[in-house]
Amino acid sequence: MSLVLVDSGGANLGSVQYALQRLGIDAPLVSTAAEIEAAERVILPGVGAAGPAMARLRELDLVGTIRGLRTPLLGVCVGMQILFEASEEGGVDCLGLLPGRVRRLPQAPGVRVPHMGWNRVQPHADSALLAGIDAGAWAYYVHSFAAPVTADCIAASVHGEPFAAVVARGNVAGAQFHPERSAAVGARLLQNFMTWRPE
């Protein structure tokens, strides 16, 4: 099963690669349409902000390629956020593979933004992507913006208000938490993605 990581310019590319290596999965970093289209599975990582991530994809002329994928695609952190139509972060238009707009997490007494650290993940739907991940399992987050809980949300977390932790629609999936820093939960999600057969 061939897997590639899209070179979205994020600082977490090496750590995602290493997390996959620990699972015995080789995932080369690629930056051309031909390499992405030849792969059986694609991960779109990302840290930082939606604007620079989209600018990087435009610079590499990969927006159309990613939009046209029929193979399983997993966005991670900002990589998940740019799967949506738009982000409040810089008012940027995104890939539009999932309906909805990414918004800033609301600040409130006792609720710090950015949301950094461990939080519980609660399943919202049955999905092979969540196989072996118990309700209330802990995952690691670092983010200030989040996607809404919609029909495509298969797991959510709460930080001030609920937000999408894992999403899936067709061949497109995303995780807001960092699998490479989420211990057993992250490893299981990555393993599940490798065998996931979108409906």
> 76 has which bridge partners?
175
Instruction: Say which of 77, 89, 94, 143 is annotated catalytic.
Output: 77
d(CA 18, CA 107) in angstroms, rounded, equals 34
Instruction: Say which of 89, 143, 153, 180 is annotated catalytic.
Output: 180
**H or E stretch including 168?**
strand 161-169
Q: How many CB atoms lie within 10 A of CB 22?
A: 11
Which residue type sits at 138? W
Instruction: Say which of 115, 124, 143, 178 is annotated catalytic.
Output: 178
Q: Is 153 a catalytic residue?
A: no
d(CA 89, CA 127) in angstroms, rounded, equals 29
Sheet-wide strand order for 92-93: 92-93, 84-87, 98-104, 145-146
Q: Is 40 a catalytic residue?
A: no
Q: Is 159 a catalytic residue?
A: no
Tell me which residues are annotated as active site: 77, 178, 180
